[in-house]
Each structure stands twice: as structure tokens, then as C-alpha cells.
Amino acid sequence: MTESTAQENRIGTDATVWKKAALVERYLGRVRKGVPMAEAQIDVMMRVIEGRGQPVENFLDLGCGDGILAATILTEYPEASGVLVDFSTPMIQAALRNLKEYSHALHLTTLDYSEPSWFDMVAARGPFDVIVSGYSIHHQPDAKKQQIYADVFDLLKPGGVFVNMEHVASSTPWVEARHDDFFIDSLWASQVGSEDAKSREEIAAAYHVREDKAANQLTSVERQCAWLRQIGFQDVDCYFKAFELAVFGGRRPFELPEREDA
């Protein structure tokens, strides 16, 4: 979806569809395994995290879903502790099931980070070496995205990294159409051979009318990286991009510049 199209859709969007158990079950059971180049995106995330050059002691996962990013971090850093938040109870329940072996080191909570109160609740368990988010912040309008990024900066330890695996806006409708074909082909390939396999035409039809589509409020990765730089992040970049799928973020400096009015 282009930024202009996203702007038109902002009125009436409602991310609360992700609180529906049926939608979460369908996404985790069928859609998530068909996300294009998912392993590559996670690999890029881990390379950025490993670039810190030291073990992860604690991390925060915003919009944790079923805990796939947290599980990846914990596999590499089994001594780490984590805070996982999501406003969807079915997602939190899925994360609890998937991360049972790490339950002693995790704090999972149903929390809506679009509400101002979220920051203080999470800050009590910070600051963090690493903050990650996977396909979650794009449900927020631009002003709220910027506030979330500023909050993330404040929640990081000096030298900590933020990695956002995200759905971003296409530059033109033509590029958007290329993304849609790319995603549909990946969804189709992921279920070929299964007992309930559907045709590409059926998958495409469902993709274009899915009930969560209106909840997307997409913004270009270039604009979001510019916001991160303005906030004060260093080494900001889009580390990976394939059409509307992007992995981007930055590092909190070890020393903050002095304020001019100090």
C-alpha cells in the first residue's frame, strides 16, 4: 500500500481485529509460514544484535505475537531475560505456549503500547540491551509511531540496539502491485502439497479482502529512518528490504550530546 493510500485509509482503521482468536489462529497457522524471506529477515535482525559485541542480558519485544523473535534471541542468548508485550490476548497465549522452557526468564503481559501508560510499566523492568518489534508498529498513525520510537530510545541502555522488522509503504501503486504478487506467490508456495491446499487464485482473493488489511497504516522506510535519526539514534539504516518488507533500526549512542541549553 502506498503512503497516499494509507493516509486515505486512516479513518476507520482498527487494529483490534488482532484480538480475535480466529484471526490470530489463521495468521499463525497459515499466513506466517508464507511470509516471504522470513528467515533472511530474522538473520539480519540477529546480525544487528550481535554487532553489539557483547551478550544480551535483557531485551524487550514490542508486539511480540507468538514469540518468534524472542525465541530466536533466547536461542542465541539463553541467559537473557525478556519482556514481551502485545495487546492481543490470543497472541500472548500463543507466546506463553511457545516459550514454556524460558518462562523463568520472561515477563509476558497484555499491554497496548499505543496508550501512554505503557512506557512506565515497561520502564520499571528496563533499560534494555535490545528492543525488537515484528510487524506491529505499522498499525499506528505516524505521530504515534514517532512517539513509540522516542520511547524506545529512552528505554535502551547506552549502546543498545533497536531492530524493527516491519511492513512499510511502497513508493508507487505499481511497486505495491509487485509486492502483492510477491507475497501471494510466497503464500501459495508455502501450502502447496498440504491437504487443504488452495489455488493461487483463491489465495489472491483472500489476500486482497482480508479483514486485517484496513488496520495497516504504512509509512515509507526512508521516512521512518529519518525519524530515528532525528530522535538521536546512530547507525540508522534499512538493513534489509524486499518491496514492503523491511528490517531497519539503529543504536542508542554511548554518550548523548549535551543540550544547547545545559
pLDDT tens sequence across 182-202: 999 998 998 887 888 889 999
SS3 209: coil
Computed over every residue of the chain, the mean pLDDT equals: 86
SS3 232: coil
- Quote the strand ranges of 68-211, DSSP E: 81-86, 106-110, 128-134, 156-167
Q: What is the model's pLDDT at position 16?
A: 65
Q: What nine digits make up the cell of 228? A: 530515528
Q: What is the model's pLDDT at position 209?
A: 82
Give the pLDDT mean for 63-67: 88
* Cβ neighbourhood burial of 64 (10 Å; 0-12, 13-18, 19+): buried
Q: What nine digits make up the cell of 13? A: 482503521
Sheet holding 234-242, edge to edge: 106-110, 81-86, 58-62, 128-134, 156-167, 245-251, 234-242
Q: Which residues contact 100 (CB under 8 A, 6 or more apart)?
A: none
pTM for the full predicted model? 0.87
Q: What is the model's pLDDT at position 167?
A: 95
Instruction: Report the chain's C-alpha Rg in angstroms.
Output: 18
141, 224 contact by CB (below 8 A)? no
Q: What nine digits make up the cell of 262? A: 545545559
**Domains of the chain (ranges plus CATH)?**
3-251 (3.40.50.150)
pLDDT of 56 over the 90 cut: yes
Backbone angles phi, psi at 27, to 5 degrees: -65, -50
- Tens of pLDDT, residues 80-112: 999 999 888 888 888 898 899 998 999 998 888
Q: What is the model's pLDDT at position 113?
A: 86
pLDDT of 9 over the 50 cut: no
